[in-house]
Structure formats: C-alpha cells, structure tokens
Structure 1
Amino acid sequence: MNKQEYLESIRSRISAMPADDVNRFMDYYSEMIDDRVEDGLSEEEAVADMGSPDAAVEQILEDMPLTKLVKEKIKPKHELKAWEVVLIVLGSPVWIPLLITAAVLLLTLWIVAFALLISFYAVVLSFVVAGIGGLICTIPLFVAHSPYTAVLMLGAALIGVGIAILFVVSVKPVTVGIFKVCKASVNGIKRMFVKEK
C-alpha cells in the first residue's frame, strides 16, 4: 500500500468528522510517512511501519473529544424546513426519553464496572489483612500453650495469605480489563458518529 492509498483509507473512515480535523489528521499522517521516507525507508515500507489504517483510526478516535463529534453530527447540514421542525417537536416525547435511557444505561454499566473493581480490591485487601492478622494471632496462642489452636490458626492464616497472593496477582489484569472495556465502549460510541453517511 502506498502513501496515497493509506491516507485515502483513513480519510474514508473519518469523513464524517469536521473537515478541519480530517485535514489536520491527514497532514499529521502524511508528515509521519514523509519523515520515515526521509529516514531511508521506501514509501511502502514507511506505510507498513505506520500500522494498519484501522489502528490509525482507533488512535484518531481516542484523540477526538466525544462532545466535538456529537456537535458535528447533530448540526443540521441544511436549513430545517417547518415540517421537519414540527416532526422533531412531535417526536420528542419518544426520542428524548430513549436518548436519556441510553445515556443512563451506559452510565450505569460504567458505574457497575467500577463498583465491581472496588469490590474486588476490597476482597483482596480483606484476605491480605485476614492472612496477616491470622499469622500475628498464632504467636499468643503458642505462648498460651495452646498448640492445636495455634496450628489451626496458622493453617487458616496461610490459606488466607495464599488466596491473597492469587488475588494480588490478578489485580492488574482485572483493572486493565475493566479500563479497556470502558475505553472500548467510548470508542464504539465515537465510531457511531464518524460513520460515513
């Protein structure tokens, strides 16, 4: 794929964005390819080094604020006629609640995802505290000459520490996964606003 094909592939995917933003992104990616060519790569190698057009579009979507995309999409392309205004007003009892419901559902999903993450951290912390507390409590039991109870407490504490270690290892992947899901949902919404007409 040459430079022109690469840029046109990106442009066709973001054509619904504001024209000045499309031109800004096209200039940016054109300059990136030119820099790679100046560094000694052929045009095809420079394009291959840039990654796929899909990856470029994903990066563009991450950089573009959602509010700007929404404003551009809902801006009328022509002067609204009287009958169009009447239809919008008459349809508002249907489309406004649907729009509010969709926004509330999305917000609820994000809140639930972060609540699950906080709950997961609370469970991990409770096992860590229980394991450490159990290990500390075995000392007075040994001192009080209650070896059976001390061994039982030591076993429970080691089980708590073991479970805590398993959970601590999975904290980062769970956190990254939840943030990726939230980021993907925002990019999915952005994608709906940059689709071609």
Structure 2
Amino acid sequence: MLLFLFFMSSDIFLLAVMAYDRYVAICHPLHYTSVMKWGRCIQLAGGAWAAGFFNAALHTGTLFSLPFCSNIITQFFCEIPHLMEISCSDPYFSEMWVLLFSSALGLGCFVLIVTSYVHIFTAVLRMSSKASRQKAFSTCIPHLTVVSLLLSTGIFSYVMPPSSPSNNLDEVLAVIYSVVPPMMNPLIYSMRNKDVKTALWKLFYQTLPNNKSVP
C-alpha cells in the first residue's frame, strides 16, 4: 500500500511539475534555460517524490493503526476504501484529516495544471506562425493525454458505486487506473520521437505477411 500510494501520488505531483515546465518553455522560451536549470529540475522532482512519500506514509500509518475485523478484502491490493470497510472501529474520523490533506494536494496540482495550460493556450493562440502553433501543441498533447487518462480513470473508479462481491467490477476499474496509465506513458511520450516511430512502423510491417524483408 505504501509503494502504491507513493507511486500514484508522485505521478500526480510530477504531472504538475511537467505542466509548469511546458508553461515556461512556451510562454517564456528565452528564459527557459535559466529558469529550468538542472538543479531546479532535481529540486522539483525531489520535491514531488518527497511529497508523494509523505502522503503515502500518512495514509499507511493512519489506516494500519486501526483494528481490523477481517484480513480479507475484495481487491487484489490494499486499497484505502476496501481497508476502511473491514475496520472494526470508525475509520472515517481517523482518515478524514489525511483525506482532506491529500485532497488539498491533489486540488493544488489540478489548479496548477489548469492554470499552466490556460497561459499556454493563450500564448499559442497569439502566435502568428502556424508552424509554431503546431509545434507548441505537439509538445503539450502527450502530457495532456496522460493527465486526462489518469484523472478520468481514477475519478471513474472512485465515483462508481461499489460492486457486489459476485462480480469483478472493482478489480477491473482498479486495473484501469493503476495499470493502464503507467503502461501507456512510454508509448504516449515516445510517439514524438522520429526514431521510435520509424522502429514501430518497421515492426508493424514485419508482422504482416510477405513483408519479412523490410529493412
């Protein structure tokens, strides 16, 4: 549970950092090298990982300090809602402040991402060159795709009412938001690389009949 929450929280914080990086690159391109120095990047990434670990430690320490009436959950990993269901005491009072803290962090990241893209789109629409606008949008599309995929699957999983023990809807939804976005990240971010696209096209043609000799 600690590792899952750490990676999930760090992913959200890093997405906010990446939104700021794109804001500086598009809205202040002449100052990018001075603002996003190597040391600054290390500080932002380290801060995201530290905040992710602190958030994960809070949830893990709070939940596992509670007494449990059972050790069986209808999920393939220790997810917060399922652990709260098997607690012998009222877990909502103990977990409420941690949830509020995590919600505030998540809301802050969401506001930072939205604010960054409002400034980015405003700057892009002011560009006179069509090529510059296309280049700016191509820089933002992979990040926006990852953010949309993570948020939509996560919100859908937690907003949906809990399923009955007879079906596996909870497990399927958990796989969608915990496995699919990280699995798609390398593909989404690599599609802008010409060498990667060329290699994928070669691999695709080589899998077709009568195309084994493609160089």
How does the TM-score come out when normalised to structure 2? Answer: 0.29
Larger radius of gyration: 1
How does the TM-score come out when normalised to structure 1? Answer: 0.31
